[in-house]
Amino acid sequence: MFNITMACITEIIGDFGFKNYARGGGLQGFSQGAFGYVGVIYFLIQSLRQGNVMWVNGLWDGVSGILESVAAYVILGERLHHWYQYLGIVLISTGIILMKNGGIAA
């Protein structure tokens, strides 16, 4: 789970950098985005050494959805527009718990 979490953290760095670049942030934003996604690749490879693609992808997508949403909410001040979008985040959390409790599928 450590590698999945680290992949998500580096993805946040990458996405925030690419958002900055997309809005005129120049080379620094692009570099931050590229650096973040190099980290994502590294940690995904490490995760795939322990589990199969379905397990790694399910956990990565879920954990990333939660962590990146929290980071965007806290750091960038972004908000969702409808209550059912927040319900979606709760359902993602439930899915993560179910995937995690299933153990590592080799």
pLDDT, tens only, 48-79: 998 889 888 888 888 888 899 899 999 999 99
Cα gap 81→5, rounded to integer Å: 27
Place of tokens 């940690």: 43
Percentage of residues in the chain having pLDDT higher than 90? 58
pTM of the shown model: 0.81
Token reading at 92: 């993602």
- Are the C-beta atoms of 68 and 8 separated by less than 8 Å? yes
> pLDDT band at 103, cuts 50/70/90?
low
